[in-house]
Structure 1
Amino acid sequence: MQMELAKTLRNYDRKNLSKDILTGLIIMAVSIPISMGYAQIAGLPAVYGLYGSVFPIILFGLFSTSPQFIFGVDAAPAALVGAALVDMGIQSGSKQAMAVVPVLTFFVAVWLFIFAFFKAGKLVNYISAPVMGGFITGICTTIILMQVPKLMGGTAGTGELPELAEHIWATLGQINLPSLILGLVSLAILLVMKKIMPKFPMVVVLMVAGVLLSYFVPISNWGIRTLDAVEPGLPVWSIPDFSAIGLKEAVIYSLSIAVVIMAETLLGENSFAQKNGYRVNANQELVAFSMGNLAAALTGCCPINGSVSRTAISEQYQGKTQLTGIVAGISMIFVLLGATGLIAYLPVPMLTAIVISSLLGATEFDLAVRLRKISKKECLIYWGAFWGVLMLGTINGVLIGIILSFAEMIIRTAKPARCFLGVQPGHRHFEDLTESLHNCEIEGVVIYRFSSSLFFANIDILQQDIENAIGPDTKAVILDASGIGSIDVTAADRLAILYRSLKAREIRFYITEHIAELNEQMRALGLGFLIEEGRVRRTIHVALKDMGIHYPYPLKGNVDNTERSPFRKRVDNSVQEFVWAFGSDSEAEIEKQIRLQIEQLKENGDMQELLHGQWNHMDELDADAWIEHLEEHIKEIVKISGQDEQELTVRFEKHRKKLREQMLKEHPELVAMFEERRRLLDEQLEKKWPDVYALVLKQREKDNR
């Protein structure tokens, strides 16, 4: 297991020093209320939250490969430890709890090291962006809901959405108005400053203002709570008392906590890494988690986790390396040694506003909006992970997200991209028949491309597609297997059945274009007879030659397939460019391009540029559609260019006539298609702009005299 110590600090750029130090101090200050609160949830005295923000965070900073993720006492592990104590009947804050929690933390460290040894970190590669986004947003929302009661003068909530909602409802009945006002004003200031001056350290200013407010104004008389005072001094290092809990219980409880730490922190790290364009070494991160938790165990703390909220704050204030975390840990030492008195002056509502502000910045609801537009399935996965975390907790939310992600992957693989192939007249290369109106089928041959590994879930689609494509004149089926990387036994058996069925109908079946390894798989799966009988060929061309079909291939409908001149090849290669490039949006894209060209016409007055736009090598069909769209803007073009409508109409019709002549010369077989398209476009023009259509019709009558 290769390790890179202090990776993010190597070749340190000194221009980041001030940002890292300032951000580290902010993280330290924000960690005080968060860590103290979560330590109490885990059944320990509040000061142990500060202990967990010293050596664990420093060790993590030295081992981590993430330049920005922050480690510390956090919600999920604290809640799991607290629940474990309840299950074991141990009272929170008791001496027994203080003995048991470090033992659980120690075994969490052991589990995390085991995960690293077996390279379990690679599992995060199978978790999609929607799962990560839903998971992070779910965690942020959960913590925000935990913090909301503190804005109102209450205590932090615990549990999932039902428990949190119940706690918020109960707190609503006893709101402390001064606390709520102070918290909301602080939150508003932070959100506004984040918009107008995102680099300004408003958090520091707000915390200093909070201390001064508490010192000079009797806010406690108004019911505004401040943090509890803690005793000065550093944590004492000691070996946990392993006799405090049974080995079986320690192993079982710690395993679930370790899984949560691995999943939540790796997901969080990868989410920030993807957003900011860097990579983390997942297995070394597990070692970093393990080392941090080992330090926590030896100082009596609860398990430590990666913190999304503190990382969001670090990102906001431009912390660039793990020096941020190390500064936070070292500065916490100075707080514990000589500044614990100041802690008692920090108003809880203001600190809560800081946490909520950072969490709002870390949510990814914008991803949900984007997914809703482009993929309903991935949007469902996002919300599944989100609601899973919110309703069922971190680990269940992760499991739901992973299950949905794998289900979506299986569905996607089960319905792969596939198409039937043909050739453009005069060309040798095979293309999707739907890619261009000029592509034609080879007479009597079905050529089918399947772009996925073949397995039990999608072999039926392949078989049905081929069966449905076979006609009375079909003499052969050629499978383009260039996208098939592997075959399972179910698919192999079905291919054998398909082959025999086609053979009985005197239809040849070929497999072509695939990698050589697929031949090894076919032999191992019992399809070696296809190779022996010459039904597995290297290319489609070789398969056709084996049937006695040579170039130029006979095309369906007796389309001329003689060799094109170099000029005609160039024209053919640009056939239906807009349809190929923009699909169903081609008409809208032509309109968009024309709008851009009209804006340019205002600047340069170049009418020639207007006729073609940026697509100078459009085929005749696209160019004709382009003119049709231009005619819809004829009044606007007249106003800009100074030409009259009659003059422009003459120019458009001359260009259209030239296109038809070129089509007749270069693609005589497509003139009928050109005329039909012309008729449809005319109908649209007459419906939308009857006066323009009348002008065009008048000009055509003149030309035909």
Structure 2
Amino acid sequence: MNLQLFATLKNYNFKNLPRDIFSGIIIAAVSIPISMGYAQISGIPAIYGLYGSVFPILFFALFSTSKQFIFGVDAAPAAIVGSALSTLGIAVESPDAMKYVPMIALFAGLWLLLFYFLHADRIVDFISTPVMGGFISGISLTIIFMQIPKLMGSSAGSGEILELLIHIFHAVRTISWFSLGMGIGALLLIRIFKKIFPKFPMAIVIMILGVLATRLFHVDEHGVVLLQAVEPGLPSLVLPQFGGIQLTHVVGRGLMVAVVIMAETLLAENNFAFKNGYKLNDRQEILACAAGNIAASAVGCCPVNGSISRTSMNEQYGGTSQAVSLTAGLVMAVLLAGFTGFIGYLPVPVLTAIVISALMDVVETHLAVRLFKVSRNEFYIFMAACLGVLFLGTIYGVIIGILLSFVSVILKATNPPRSFRGMIPGKEAYYDLQRNRHAYPIRHVVIYRFSENLFFANVKIFQEDLENSIKEDTKVMIVDASSINSIDITAADRLEAIASSMKKKGIQFYITEHSSNLNEQMRSLGIGHLIKEGCVRRTILAALNDADVQKPYDLEIPEAEKKLAQIRSQSHLPAEEENTLEEFAWAFGSNTVRELEEATHQIIQHLHQMPDVEKLSDEGLREHFENWHAFGALDEDEILHRIELHIDELPEELHKEHGHILELIEKRRSRIREKILEEHPELASKLEQNRKRLEERLEQQNPEAMKKWRDWKKKD
């Protein structure tokens, strides 16, 4: 277990200490109003937000590998817990709330600890950005609507959006205009200064101004509600209270909070790490979150989470390590030890304005706008998750968002990008016919690219595309399977049926360009015979050669465009070298030698049955033997050499033909060499190396046959 403590302080550069300390002080000061506000949202007294800003932060810093991330009382967990209390009918800041909230934090920590041991950090990969963005935005908007009545001098709302709107309506009827003016004014000042001076900690200034307004102008006498005064002192240890609670609810809410904490924290941490050029240990970050939440439960606080807004502020002030968190935690401890007197003078609308401002930064409107422009489906998923939280609550919002994510994945898989391909005169690659108006199909040939794994839900589209593309003069059908990495049994059966159907129609069918792993799958699914029958080729070029479609290709160019095509073809680009000569190793993997031997024996067996071997020509070898066309040039050369070694297996009546057959084989091998020298001169040395390696290998496998072969060569 490669566990590092205070990992970000390893080899610490003390030149950064002044910046880290300053940033830590700012973070502590900003955390005062924000943490207190979120604590109230979760249903516990505001002071517990400060308690949750000491030990949880210190424990997170102990285990975290993030150089910047700030941990503390935050929006999403607070909203989930507050929603849970509302669902259970528990009044905020009641004795029952004081039991439930720390217990949810405890079980969130225990779930996170379990996730750590289960290496669950990869789960985050299955939560899409639109789902998480919509979920967090929905929670943030829910909390903002909860807070609006507090600006008007009323208590916070609870429930979903309709209940919150009703609560706001009732608050308007008893509105304190002085309170609303103070809150709106504070919110405007924070937003204006944030836009003009983004690094200026205006929230702290607003908090100080609010305290001064109470002391100097007694705003509480004009309908402005103040926070409850807090006695100084560090938090006391709170033991878990299992009695008098519904354990299933606590465990269930704890699980949901844990998933949200893990997902939001890891996604945000990785974003900051990527932007600033350092690496994280995602698994250890889960442990850091677990430690922070268990520490929060021990002081009676609500669940704690990574704070995007405070981390952004830390980034602005140049924080470089978890020394910032340590500073913030210690500053908060000093504050609690003897400087809590100001809290009783803090106007609630001012605190509410600070919280709303922080939440406005969390609502991901920029993501919604981006998704609307680039991906409508993902935009709808974002909105569904957001509206699901607003109208149905946090649990259903997440469920809806995740379900829609899976639906989106299925829709993409069942309707993948696909295209028919042709060639541009003068170029060797194969281009999408729809996107390249200068690309033309090869006459009598259909080249089809399918850009998704092939399985039961999309194989019908695959089949229909192929069948609909067939014309009266179609002779060759080539599938570019470079994007197909897996097939299931339904797709395998359908491929077999397609190949059979094409054969009946007189169309040569090929699957090309895929990885050798797909060949393994085809064999395991029972359609390996397609490979042996030559329907599987390594490249499109190999398939075209096998189908006897030779260069220069006859493109279906309309008469009106032929002259322009000739001009374009003059700027000829060198052809990309394609490995079409050696396909057996690619096609059969670990079974290559066995398949080569099997093919050799099949040819020998075929020779047994030929009545007129003496009339056989070297070209006849290729014409008479079934599936010979499945070999590349280097494969064919090896097969021919293996036939030489097995020549003694012919029946006695054909012994007199041994010399003739061996001569044919030698002629054929010479012709292969000449062809390679003509078409691929740079591969001639590879052919000789292959022949030498083959002879060395066969010498070990069958020394007696090799001796006889050498003797024959000497006689020759």
TM-score (norm 2): 0.72
Match of 1:25 in 2: 25
Change (3 A) 1:84 1:133: closer
Residues 208-262 of structure 1, C-alpha deviations (whole Å, 9 max, x = no match): 2222222222121112222211121112236434456576565445334433433
User: 1:332 Cα deviation (Å)?
Assistant: 1.4
Q: Distance in 1 between matches of 2:143 and 2:15?
A: 34
- Shifted more, 281-290 versus 423-432: the winner is 423-432
Q: Give the AA of the match of 1:556.
A: E
Q: Give the AA of the match of 1:126.
A: F
**Are 2:79 and 2:143, in contact at CA under 8 Å, matched by a contact in 1?**
no
* Counterpart pick for 1:569 among 556, 568, 571: 571
Matches within 5 A, 1:360-509: 360-509=360-509
**Are 2:33 and 2:355, in contact at CA under 8 Å, matched by a contact in 1?**
no
Secondary structure class of the residue paired with 2:211: helix
**Are 1:312 and 1:358, in contact at CA under 8 Å, matched by a contact in 2?**
no
**Are 2:34 and 2:354, in contact at CA under 8 Å, matched by a contact in 1?**
no
User: 1:455 Cα deviation (Å)?
Assistant: 1.3
Residues 579-628 of structure 1, C-alpha deviations (whole Å, 9 max, x = no match): xxxxxxxxxxxxxxxxxxxxxxxxxxxxxxxxxxxxxxxxxxxxxxxxxx
- Shifted more, 28-37 versus 326-335: the winner is 28-37
User: 1:287 Cα deviation (Å)?
Assistant: 0.9
Match of 1:207 in 2: 207
User: 1:568 Cα deviation (Å)?
Assistant: 2.1
Matches within 5 A, 1:139-150: 139-150=139-150
Change (3 A) 1:452 1:95: closer
Match of 1:110 in 2: 110
Change (3 A) 1:231 1:362: same
Residues 89-109 of structure 1, C-alpha deviations (whole Å, 9 max, x = no match): 877656565455444433322
Residues 471-509 of structure 1, C-alpha deviations (whole Å, 9 max, x = no match): 111111111111111111111111111111111111111
Secondary structure class of the residue paired with 1:116: helix
User: 1:25 Cα deviation (Å)?
Assistant: 3.2
Q: Distance in 1 between matches of 2:539 and 2:423?
A: 15
> Superposition RMSD on alpha carbons, in Å?
3.3
Query: Which structure has the bigger radius of gyration?
Result: 2
Secondary structure class of the residue paired with 1:344: helix
**Are 2:83 and 2:393, in contact at CA under 8 Å, matched by a contact in 1?**
no
Change (3 A) 1:288 1:104: same
Change (3 A) 1:7 1:272: same
Change (3 A) 1:185 1:87: closer
Secondary structure class of the residue paired with 1:306: strand
Q: Distance in 1 between matches of 2:100 and 2:371?
A: 45
- Shifted more, 517-526 versus 60-69: the winner is 60-69
Matches within 5 A, 1:275-674: 280-311=280-311, 313-314=313-314, 319-556=319-556, 568-569=570-571
Residues 193-222 of structure 1, C-alpha deviations (whole Å, 9 max, x = no match): 122222222222222222222222212111
- Shifted more, 261-270 versus 273-282: the winner is 273-282
**Are 1:106 and 1:294, in contact at CA under 8 Å, matched by a contact in 2?**
yes
Change (3 A) 1:553 1:346: same
Change (3 A) 1:313 1:160: farther
User: 1:390 Cα deviation (Å)?
Assistant: 2.1
User: 1:114 Cα deviation (Å)?
Assistant: 0.5
User: 1:433 Cα deviation (Å)?
Assistant: 2.6
Change (3 A) 1:438 1:35: closer
Q: Distance in 2 between matches of 1:35 and 1:201?
A: 16
Total equivalences in the alignment: 572
Change (3 A) 1:47 1:193: closer
Q: Distance in 2 between matches of 1:380 and 1:80?
A: 23
Q: Distance in 2 between matches of 1:15 and 1:126?
A: 40
Matches within 5 A, 1:2-13: 2-12=2-12
Q: Distance in 1 between matches of 2:140 and 2:95?
A: 33
Q: Give the AA of the match of 2:524.
A: A
Q: Give the AA of the match of 2:507.
A: I
**Are 1:310 and 1:358, in contact at CA under 8 Å, matched by a contact in 2?**
no
Secondary structure class of the residue paired with 1:493: helix
Q: Give the AA of the match of 1:569.
A: S
Q: Distance in 2 between matches of 1:260 and 1:557?
A: 58
Q: Does 1:65 align with 2:60?
A: no
Residues 410-444 of structure 1, C-alpha deviations (whole Å, 9 max, x = no match): 21222222222222334443322334333222221
Q: Distance in 2 between matches of 1:75 and 1:12?
A: 32
Match of 2:121 in 1: 121
Change (3 A) 1:174 1:68: farther
Secondary structure class of the residue paired with 1:153: coil
Q: Distance in 2 between matches of 1:332 and 1:414?
A: 54
Residues 37-94 of structure 1, C-alpha deviations (whole Å, 9 max, x = no match): 5445555444333222210122112323344443223455445555666777877656
Q: Distance in 1 between matches of 2:393 and 2:27?
A: 26
Residues 552-581 of structure 1, C-alpha deviations (whole Å, 9 max, x = no match): 2233359889x99999225899xxxxxxxx
Residues 522-574 of structure 1, C-alpha deviations (whole Å, 9 max, x = no match): 1111111101111111112221222222222233359889x99999225899x
- Stretches of structure 2 lacking an aligned partner (at least 5 in a row): 576-716
Q: Distance in 1 between matches of 2:309 and 2:376?
A: 29
Q: Distance in 1 between matches of 2:510 and 2:85?
A: 66
**Are 2:8 and 2:321, in contact at CA under 8 Å, matched by a contact in 1?**
yes
User: 1:395 Cα deviation (Å)?
Assistant: 3.4
- Shifted more, 36-45 versus 215-224: the winner is 36-45
**Are 1:153 and 1:349, in contact at CA under 8 Å, matched by a contact in 2?**
yes
Q: Give the AA of the match of 2:536.
A: V
User: 1:267 Cα deviation (Å)?
Assistant: 4.8
- Shifted more, 7-16 versus 82-91: the winner is 82-91
Q: Distance in 1 between matches of 2:116 and 2:93?
A: 32
Q: Give the AA of the match of 1:384.
A: A
Q: Distance in 2 between matches of 1:360 and 1:253?
A: 25
**Are 2:8 and 2:66, in contact at CA under 8 Å, matched by a contact in 1?**
yes
Match of 2:259 in 1: 259
Match of 1:687 in 2: none
Match of 1:158 in 2: 158
Q: Distance in 1 between matches of 2:199 and 2:82?
A: 38
**Are 1:263 and 1:398, in contact at CA under 8 Å, matched by a contact in 2?**
no
**Are 2:56 and 2:296, in contact at CA under 8 Å, matched by a contact in 1?**
yes
Q: Distance in 1 between matches of 2:380 and 2:252?
A: 33
Change (3 A) 1:140 1:313: farther
Q: Distance in 2 between matches of 1:402 and 1:33?
A: 33
Match of 2:648 in 1: none
**Are 1:30 and 1:354, in contact at CA under 8 Å, matched by a contact in 2?**
no
- Shifted more, 432-441 versus 330-339: the winner is 432-441
Secondary structure class of the residue paired with 2:570: helix
- Stretches of structure 1 lacking an aligned partner (at least 5 in a row): 574-705
Secondary structure class of the residue paired with 1:569: coil
User: 1:400 Cα deviation (Å)?
Assistant: 2.1
